[in-house]
Structures are given as structure tokens and as C-alpha cells.
Amino acid sequence: MRTAYSVETVRAAERELMERLAPGVLMQRAAAGLAAACSGLLGRTYGSRVVLLVGSGDNGGDALHAGARLARRGAGVTAVLLSPERVHEGGLAALRAAGGRVQAAPGTVVEGAPVPVEPVVARADLVVDGIVGIGGKGGLRPSAVELAELVERVRAPVVSVDLPSGVDADTGEVPGVAVRADATVTFGAYKPGLLLDPAREYAGALRLVDIGLGPFLGDAPAAEALQHADVNELLPRPGAESDKYRRGVVGVVAGSARYPGAAVLTVSGALRGGAGAVRYVGPAADAVIARHPETLVSAGPPSKAGRVQAWSVGSGLGEDRDRLEDVLAAPVPVLIDADGLRLADEQALRARTAPTVLTPHAGEAAALLGWERSEVEARRLAAVRELARRTGATVLLKGSTTLVAGPGGVRVNPTGSGWLATAGTGDVLSGLIGSLLAGGLEALEAASVGAYVHGMAGRLAPRPAGASDVADALTAAWRDLLRDGEPAAR
């Protein structure tokens, strides 16, 4: 599992570690990892041209020390200084001693006549972005903006130091122009902004360099991201004594006369979520049975449908508040999606004693919070945390990077794909997560595992894919996750 820590936590860990180390050792560890990553990307270090964009902070020092290492291996290294009067002196001395050159950023003077920066950057085999570190807030200064725009204009390959300059390390917000990196080398721990939209799009491939912070970070990460092995361990598996009831029965309350397809798609996701049986309650029973004859269908209120270990409610529900309220009264986990989010009462959600999962997209989250949609999209981490706090539920905020927040923390889904941005895929997800809840997973685990598997299905489905294609691809996603073997049932 990838774990991301706040800037405050990382800074505190760095201070504690530095008290135990000789001066400069921590920066040298970071620089060594950065230089190794740069060499790997270059392929051939000797004779390559490397440009360092150097700000006044410690990550500017990391870039300078890494540049010195690359220069000693035969690279031609040029440092472009944005704040010559506040540059890291030890790093600058090391670069010069190794034969590196120093140049002024636009609007600054280092020594002698100014030299145009654009030709230097345009000829670079690699640009190292060391402009702003994890403490940067509020966007880039004009001189840094000019460099970021130059790098993008000439399409130079970029490695960012710790995180791309111009993005917020804690929130993933991008308040203005930021550096777009092909790769980011981060030190000691992932930072939340590297995993969150919109900043994630600027980070490129991530590489974590261990500099020894682990023992000092504590046990409360700001965000986590499941990996393949984590999901493999969490997926429910039948045992020798399993029957359909022991595996879990998920109830689906979805669809209406206007939206029968929502019921079909929710059931499609539920049938591929590992539960032993799916019960459908609603007006689209004929459509559901026609597509999935294994479904158990019922008329009347959900509370009379029979044994159910979890409910998925809301997709295409229309204005049927009665069925929603009947489900919310059940003492079992409930997932609420789409129309159910609009109809649900916040006090009723907070009054529930069994787990509740909400799955809004940005527009639905904005309506629930009373925010503008643009604010939710720009401040996704803040939005999902606030909605979880207000409702007492586990909240899955959909998007290219889906976030899940609940009492157990925040999870970031790494498998999202823009190909999932099509009608009906959210219905499939709601059925899938409902099935995982019925199979015994806790709310945070069910939501984050469901998002992971759903994202994989979006990647495996034919392109362009419809929601039915994504539902069909869930089986292949499970097979891929289980390909390393079937652990014993728990």
C-alpha cells in the first residue's frame, strides 16, 4: 500500500531524523536517489545535457547536489538560478566543483552578461525541476511561471524534485501554472498531492526514495492507495462450507419506469462483486430477469424481500422516497447512489447505526455540501472529508482519481480511467460495492476495493466502452487480481 503523509508530518520526521545524523547527510541521501533516477531516465549519463531549475529551498539544494553527481559522471549540467541571493550554498559549490555551469533565470543576474535561457532548456536531454519544495503555497512567482511555461513549450523531459513546482503537496490543488513532469522523485514518503487530482496529472511516474524517515512518520497517514496485493488480500473468497447465504446476499433497489437500465446495470455490478445472491426490488424486474435470470426478484417494500446482508439503493430511483427510507431503516450496510443521494435526509444518515456508503460525483457532492461544483473539483480532498464528517458515512467521491473517506482515513484509487466517464458506469460501481459489503468487507474496504476493481475493468473493457462492457470486464479484473493464486479462505 502506498501511504502519503502531510507536509507537517514529513517536516517533523525530517527534523527528528536530522538530529541523529551528521549535517548534510539527509540531503545527500535525497540527492543520491535523485541522481540515480535521473541516470536511469537518461539511459546514458556521459555526454548528456541536464538543466537544473533551482529555487531557494532545500529541494533546490537537492537538485544542485544531484547535478554535481551527474556532472562527475560526465553529464553537462547547467543550473538556472531563480534566487541567486538565496541559493543553497553547499549545493552550488558542489556543482561548480564538479564542473557544472550556472546561469541566471529570466529577470535575474548571476554573473556577467545574461545568457538566454530558452536555447539551453531546448537542448536539454533532461530538465530537473527544483524550483519549489513541499512547503510551496499559493502558486508560482512570475519568474517561475515563465520557466514552467518555457519547459512545456519546448517539450523538454522533466523530473520534479519531491513534487512538481506549483502544486500543493497536502491538497493536490493547482492554483495556477505548474510544472508538468514526466516523473517525480519524492523523498521519505509520498505526499497526498502526488496521488490526488488535479496535481496527480502533473506528477508523471512516481518514484519514492527511502531516506530513513519511516520510523518517524507515525501511524496516521493523510491518505493511502491500495495496490494489487492489498486488493488480492481483501477480495472475499468462498470456503469449503460456503453457500449463497454465507457468501452474502445483496439487495438492489434501483431503477424506475423511466430508467429500467439503471436496475440492470446495478444488478450487473452486484452479480460480479462476490456475493452469493442478488435480490432485486423495484419496477424493472422484467428487464432485470431478462438480462440476469439468476437474480431473485421481489415486489413490495424492500423490508419484505427476504434475507439481505447489504443494500445498494438509488440508481435511477426517481422520486421513490418510500423505498429509500425503507432501506435506510434496515440494520445492515447500505450504499446510496444517484437519486438516493438527492432524496436522503442528512439527519437520517447520521442516525444510522449500520455502515453507510455514499457515492457522489462532483456535482452531487456540491449539492450535498452547498458548494459550487468547481470548488469540489479543485478541492477534492477537502470535499470528501467534509462530506464524510457531516453525514457520518463513508464517502466515495467519483472522478478520474476516486477518493474514499471515512472513519478509517482517506483512500485514493490508483486505477481510474477517463474511459469510465460514460453513462451507467456509476450504477455498475454501486452494485459492485454493495456486493462487497454483503460479502463482509467493512465500508472503507468495500468502497476502496470496489473502486479499484471497477477502475481495472474500465481499463480492460474494449474501447470505447459502455457501462455493460465495464460490467462484463469485472470478471477479467477479478481474474487478474487472483492470478497469483487462491489463498485459503478466511
Would the annotation count 130 as a binding residue? no
Q: Are 337 and 433 in contact (CB under 8 A)?
A: no
263 is in an annotated binding site: no
Q: 427 among the known binding-site residues? A: yes
Tell whether 137 is in a known binding site: yes
Cβ-based burial of 210 (10 A; exposed 0-12, middle 13-18, buried ≥19) = exposed
**230 annotated as a binding-site residue:** no
**Residue 469 annotated in ligand binding:** no
Q: Is 48 annotated as a binding residue?
A: no
Q: Where are the beta strands (DSSP E) in 151-306?
A: 158-161, 183-187, 205-209, 223-225, 249-253, 277-281, 296-298
Percentages helix, strand, coil for the chain, rounded to the nearest 5?
Answer: 45, 15, 40
Q: Give the H or E element holding residue 471.
A: helix 467-481
> Which residues contact residue 346 at a Cβ distance below 8 angstroms, ignoring those fewer than 6 apart?
368, 390, 391
- The answer to whether the annotation marks 439 as part of a ligand binding site is no
The answer to whether 138 is a known ligand-binding residue is: yes
Q: How, if at all, do strands 356-358 and 394-397 pair?
A: parallel
Torsion of CA 17, 23, 24, 25, to 10 degrees: -50
Question: Per the annotation, does 125 bind a ligand?
Answer: no
316 assigned ligand-binding residue = yes
CB 128 within 8 A of CB 78: no
Ligand-binding annotation for 60, yes or no, is yes
Q: Measured between alpha carbons, how far is 81 from 110 in angstroms, rounded to an integer?
A: 8
58 annotated ligand binder:
yes
Is 406 assigned to a binding site?
no
Is 425 annotated to bind a ligand? Reply is: no
135 is in an annotated binding site: yes
- The Cα angle at residue 133 between residues 128 and 134, in degrees rounded to 5: 135
User: Does 418 belong to an annotated binding site?
Assistant: no
398 appears as a binding residue in the annotation: yes
Strand 101-104 relative to strand 126-130: parallel, antiparallel, unpaired? unpaired
The answer to the question of whether 426 is labelled as a binding residue is yes
Binding residues for AMP: 398-402, 426
Binding residues for (6S)-NADPHX: 58-62, 133-139, 162, 262, 316, 361, 427
Binding residues for K(+): 59, 129, 165
Binding residues: 58-62, 129, 133-139, 162, 165, 262, 316, 361, 398-402, 426-427
